[in-house]
């Protein structure tokens, strides 16, 4: 077990449910509250007077900032204290949520929204890796697998409930109350951390902050995000787009070179010598990327089917129920079969779910039935995958790198969600605005019902097929990296 700084008595500290539920509230603050923008984006855009491209940036920027800073914060958590970093994360979420909740209409809306969403992203960057490192430090064996399962319920379950929760609150109270509620949850989480001893990794030699690595990574990721979200608007061959492509390549190459040559990189590529950790991290990136499925399918029924945010969110009820109900089934599958098989099964079920969400050619009544089945299977698939993948990643980490290693794993989650949502949104927005580019689908598929919304329906089909492609790549990555060996029964 990782060495723990503090008094001698703290070295024998065993994690309690109070601590576990406290850090789960921090996870929920991101996945439930911050991610509601996937569903309520049209309402926020309308109320604040933003255009669609700016709203797409606001939706994706939280996961982007989380992905950029999550490894840095995970590494700092190992050295300055995991509990301290979790607390900082709560404070940042309180400030970020408040800025969004009080964002004014008009010219200042963009600044309030983007700064608030960025702070929510940095908050998640603090809480995700540090809380996972606490799980590794303070729980062991079957108790750790239970803690990971409950942590995953907060993460994946929060993402499952966010659309339904966001729609209900927006329809009945207004979307601003979502972020006021996030503040309350963060305060409760802070109170539940009281009495827990600090946890740090053993330090060997002096620590030097990897500023060059962080800056080159940040520039490359921000340039890529702007390119994905604004490329269609700027023109893919415009000087600005070509400049962004060059920035991604140049700074990405510089980042790789820096991290490969220094003694204390913020992304330690040596961790990827472990194939299980590699497979868990790559597939985690891709499975989080299919969050774009939620944005596209929910906007499809709102823009193409004239459903409200609450009505659209209600369709995802099966997703929320399934992911919470089956998370611990994933834990039992892990104990019986090891990580590989339940991870693959989860991916297959998730892919099937996206296929069921894709037939936008149906009448809205028929599509709603398919969507409810699809969302339920979406939850089952992610639930099967979540605990085996997280446990496989944690179990493969050296004790003194649990924070930074967890950070890389959760960076895959955040960047996967950021780019999955951004790319899906970009495909959907670009194709729906240029109906002639997807008109060929009308010769392949018969579209029932209204014909005035064909561009939206056709664009949704293409965007959802991109998400199916990501699932296929995730399965291949697991098959090539995660060993077949069965886990020992607890």
What pLDDT does 487 receive? 44
* Average pLDDT, integer, range 261-289: 87
Q: Say if residue 259 is in the same domain as residue 345.
A: no
**pLDDT tens profile 50-106:** 887 788 888 878 877 887 788 778 878 877 889 999 999 999 999 999 999 999 988
Per-residue three-class SS string for the chain: CCCCCCCHHHHHCCCCHHHHHHHHHHHHHHHHHHHHHHHHHHHHHHHHCCCHHHHHHHHHHHHHHHHHHHHHHHHHHHHHCHHHHHHHHHHHHHHHHHHHHCCCCCCCHHHHHHHHHHHHHHHHHHHHHHHHHHHHHHCCHHHHHHHHHHHHHHHHHHHHHHHHHHHHHHHHCCCHHHHHHHHHHHHHHHHHCCCCCCCCCCCCCCCCCCHHHHHHHHHHHHHHHHHHHHHHHHCCCCHHHHHHHHHHHHHHHHHHHHHHHCCCCCCCHHHHHCHHHHHHHHHHHHHHHCCHHHHHHHHHHHHHCCCCHHHHHHCCHHHHHHHHHHHHHHHHHHHHHCCHHHHHHHHHHHHHHHHHCCCCCCCHHHHHHHHHHHHHHHHHHHHHHHHHHHHHHHHCCCHHHHHHHHHHHHHHHHHHHHHHHHHHHHHHHHHHHCHHHCHHHHHCCCCCCCCCCHHHHHHHHHHHHHHHHHHHHHHHHHHHHCCCCCCCCC
Is 260 a member of any domain?
yes
Say if 286 falls within a structural domain: yes
Assess whether 248 and 291 both reside in one domain. no
What pLDDT sits at residue 4?
A: 38
pLDDT score recorded for residue 202: 67
Residue 253 clears pLDDT 90, i.e. is over it:
yes
Q: Number of folded domains in the chain?
A: 2
- According to the model, what pLDDT value does residue 203 have? 60
Domain extent, residue 81, equals: 13-196+268-481
| Mean of pLDDT values over 176-203 | 90
- Asked if pLDDT for residue 490 goes beyond 50, the answer is no
Same domain, 395 and 471: yes
Claim to verify: residue 256 and residue 275 sit in the same structural domain: no
Residue 389 has pLDDT above 80, yes or no: yes
Percent of the chain scoring above 90 in pLDDT: 34
**275 vs 35, more confident:** 275
Give the global pTM. Answer: 0.74
pLDDT tens sequence across 14-29: 878 899 999 999 989 8
Do 171 and 243 lie in a common domain?
no
- The CATH number that applies at residue 361 is 1.20.1250.20
Q: 99 and 31 share a domain? A: yes
277 within domain boundaries: yes
pLDDT tens for residues 303-312? 888 888 778 8
Indicate if the pLDDT at residue 6 is higher than 50. Answer: no
How much is the average pLDDT of 318-336? Answer: 88
């Amino acid at each position: 077990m990782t060495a723990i700084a503090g008094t001698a008595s703290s070295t024998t500290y065993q994690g309690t449910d109070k601590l576990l539920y406290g850090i789960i509230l921090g996870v929920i603050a991101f996945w439930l509250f911050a991610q509601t923008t996937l569903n309520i984006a049209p309402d926020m855009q309308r109320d604040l007077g933003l255009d669609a491209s700016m709203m797409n940036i606001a939706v994706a920027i939280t996961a982007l900032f989380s992905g950029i800073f999550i490894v840095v914060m995970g590494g700092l958590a190992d050295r300055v204290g995991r509990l301290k970093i979790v607390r900082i994360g709560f404070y940042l979420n309180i400030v970020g949520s408040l800025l969004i909740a009080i964002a004014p209409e008009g010219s200042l809306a963009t600044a309030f929204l983007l700064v608030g969403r960025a702070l929510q992203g940095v908050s998640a960057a603090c809480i995700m890796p540090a809380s996972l490192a606490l799980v590794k430090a303070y729980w062991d064996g079957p108790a750790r697998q239970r803690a990971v399962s409950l942590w995953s319920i907060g993460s994946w379950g929060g993402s499952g409930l966010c659309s339904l929760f966001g729609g209900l609150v927006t329809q009945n109270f207004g979307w601003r109350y979502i972020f006021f509620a996030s503040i309350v949850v963060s305060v409760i989480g802070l109170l539940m951390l009281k009495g827990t001893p600090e946890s740090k990794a053993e330090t060997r030699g002096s620590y030097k902050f990897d500023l060059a690595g962080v800056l080159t990574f940040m520039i490359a990721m921000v340039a890529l995000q702007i390119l994905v979200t604004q490329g269609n608007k700027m023109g893919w061959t415009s000087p600005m787009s070509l400049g962004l492509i060059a920035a991604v390549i140049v700074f990405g190459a510089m980042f790789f070179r820096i991290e490969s040559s220094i003694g204390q990189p913020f992304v330690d590529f040596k961790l990827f010598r472990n194939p299980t950790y590699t497979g868990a991290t790559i597939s985690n990136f891709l499975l989080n990327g299919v969050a774009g499925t939620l944005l596209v399918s929910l906007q499809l029924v709102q823009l193409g089917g004239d459903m409200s945010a609450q009505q659209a969110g209600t369709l995802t009820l099966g997703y929320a129920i399934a992911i919470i109900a089956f998370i611990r089934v994933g834990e039992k599958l892990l104990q019986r079969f090891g990580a590989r098989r339940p991870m693959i099964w989860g991916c297959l079920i998730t892919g099937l779910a996206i296929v069921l969400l894709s037939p936008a050619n149906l009448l809205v009544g028929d599509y709603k039935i398919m969507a409810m089945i699809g969302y339920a299977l979406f939850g089952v698939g992610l639930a099967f995958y979540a605990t085996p993948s997280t446990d496989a990643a944690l179990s493969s980490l050296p004790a003194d790198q649990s924070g930074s290693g967890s950070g890389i794993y959760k960076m895959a989650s955040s960047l996967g969600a950021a780019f999955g949502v951004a790319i899906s949104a970009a495909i959907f927005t670009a194709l729906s605005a240029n109906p002639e580019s997807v008109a060929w689908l009308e010769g392949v598929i018969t579209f029932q019902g209204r014909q005035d919304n064909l561009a939206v329906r056709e664009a949704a089909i293409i965007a959802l097929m991109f998400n199916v492609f990501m699932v296929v790549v995730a399965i291949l990555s697991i098959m090539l990296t995660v060993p077949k060996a069965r886990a020992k029964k607890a």
